[in-house]
Amino acid sequence: MHIAEGFLPPAHAIGWTIAAAPFVVHGARAVAKEVRENPESTLLLGAAGAFTFVLSAIKLPSITGSSSHPTGTGLGAVLFRPPVMALLGTVVLLFQALLLAHGGLTTLGANAFSMAVIGPWAGYAAYRLVRRSGGGLLPGVFAAMAVADLATYVTTALQLAWAHPDAASGFGGAAAKFLSVFAFTQVPLAIGEGLLGVLLFRVLVVNARPELERLGVLRRTPEPDQAPVPEATPGAER
Amino acid sequence: MRRHLVTALLVLAVVALFATPLLLDGASEYAGTDSQATELIEESDAGYEPWFESVFSPGSSEIESGLFALQAALGGGVLGYVLGRLKGRRTAEQTARRTAERTGRQAAETAATPPATP
């Protein structure tokens, strides 16, 4: 979960805010451009934002005996490329910082950097890696979701270790400690998030084929009218 | 049929993933990782004082969980709206194509048989 309000020293708080700001501004421009040039993308943009909204609201138990929540940023990264998620993820973080006392305003920069910048980019890299090595769409989506989730919390742990190095063992010791809290707890959540992403994409592949083809997620079918989509036959729906 | 089996198995896997820890260790408190991290900082960096307070804190855990539920509901609502619209669009396209095929066939038939009236 995110770094609590006030738990980063001022220098770190300001530093991370400056680091995250260009990504968020760039993301806002990417969203505006997408909506202007492809108004039909608005629906899927809404879906990507909504997915992050839902998933980061649900705290789930993990085998480590603690709980955390997924991030859901991998979906938008696969659909619209990572910059879009820099804005959408930050909106979610701002909502939680203002209304839920979860995360915070002084830690918004650091949390945005981990959840809205590192997470989506790491997830997108994993997706591209799977696709380029011949993996299908759904394995790619699974990798994107799981890696985006894990990378977010590994980053959070490292940010905390940097701000609060251990008195005896320094940064390394603190990193090991924070990673043992954040990263291990997150493993089953990342797997669950990957499965949820696959579930959602199975629906999108059937119902949002034109958008996915335009976004380059699916290859264009040679004859869209005669495309032998098995699900297209009536009766197969139930 | 196979498609729905896969969907059901995926849903089951997600449920099992999060039910297992509860079944194995129901006594655990499942504290949030954020509060665990906060405790760690207080232990290892005892001199550290949080220098900023949340602008607004929900008064009780009930209100807090309500607000989290609100966040999930907003997201779930929008997601459902989008998926419903996409699904409706596809159904409408299919219906339109089928209607077009049928009227096309009827037009061809009427063109083939000359009108009975002189």
- Pick the residue of A52, A195, A214, A226 with the most B CBs within 10 A to test the interface with B by mutation: A195
Q: pLDDT value at position B49?
A: 81
Residue A123 in this model has a pLDDT that exceeds 80 = yes
pTM tops 0.90: no
Burial class (CB in 10 A: 0-12, 13-18, 19+), B118: exposed
Q: What DSSP element (H or E) covers A61?
A: strand A60-61
Task: Please tell me the number of Cα atoms within 13 Å of B109 on its side-chain side.
Answer: 6
Residue A182 in this model has a pLDDT that exceeds 60 = yes
Q: What is the pLDDT of residues B59-89, one digit of tens each?
A: 888 888 889 999 999 999 999 999 999 999 9
Q: pLDDT value at position A193?
A: 94
Its ipTM equals: 0.85
- Pick the residue of B70, B82, B97, B102 with the most A CBs within 10 A to test the interface with A by mutation: B82
Nearest by CB to B32, from A49, A66, A96: name it: A66
Residue A14 in this model has a pLDDT that exceeds 80 = yes
Q: pLDDT value at position B37?
A: 86
The number of C-beta contacts closer than 8 angstroms across A and B is: 188
Q: Measure in Å the smallest separation between the Cα of A29 and chain B Cα atoms.
A: 22
Residue B55 in this model has a pLDDT that exceeds 70 = yes
Most confident of the following: A187-191, A222-226, B45-49, B50-54: A187-191
Q: pLDDT value at position A227?
A: 47
Q: Measure in Å the smallest separation between the Cα of B114 and chain A Cα atoms.
A: 32
Tokens of A187: 């493993």
CB A47 within 8 A of CB B82: yes
Average pLDDT value for chain A: 90
| Averaged pLDDT for residues B88-105 | 92
User: In chain A, which among 73-102 make CB contacts under 8 A with chain B?
Assistant: 95-102
pLDDT higher at B118 or B24: B24
Q: What is the pLDDT of residues B2-54, one digit of tens each?
A: 889 999 999 999 999 998 888 887 777 788 888 888 888 888 777 788 888 88
Which residue from B minimizes the CA distance to A108? B54
Residue A144 identity (one-letter amino acid): A
Chain B residues touching residue A47 (CB < 8 angstroms): 78-79, 82-83
Within a 10 A sphere around the Cβ of A161, how many other Cβ atoms?
21
Within a 10 A sphere around the Cβ of A199, how many other Cβ atoms?
17
Contact: B10, A208; criterion CB under 8 Å: no
Q: Does domain A10-216 have CATH number 3.40.50.11720?
A: no
Given the structure tokens 């960096």, which residue do they identify?
B45
Nearest by CB to A47, from B17, B56, B82: name it: B82
Q: What is the pLDDT of residues A15-62, one digit of tens each?
A: 999 999 999 999 999 999 999 999 989 999 999 999 999 999 998 888
**A203 at the B interface (CB within 8 A)?**
yes
Q: pLDDT value at position B118?
A: 59
- Pick the residue of B15, B33, B65 with the most A CBs within 10 A to test the interface with A by mutation: B33
Nearest by CB to B44, from A51, A174, A232: name it: A174
DSSP-derived letter for residue B115 is P
| Averaged pLDDT for residues B88-110 | 90
**Domain spans in chain A, listed from the N-terminal domain onward:** 10-216
In 3D, which of A63, A69, A79 has the Cα closest to residue A31? A79
Q: pLDDT value at position B72?
A: 93
The DSSP bridge partners found for residue A66 are B31
Q: What is the pLDDT of residues A70-101, one digit of tens each?
A: 999 999 999 999 999 999 999 999 999 998 88
Helices and strands (DSSP H and E) totals, chain B:
3, 1
CA triple A55-A59-A62, angle to 5 deg: 115
Sign of CA dihedral B47, B48, B51, B54: negative
Nearest by CB to A178, from B22, B40, B87: name it: B40
Q: pLDDT value at position B115?
A: 64
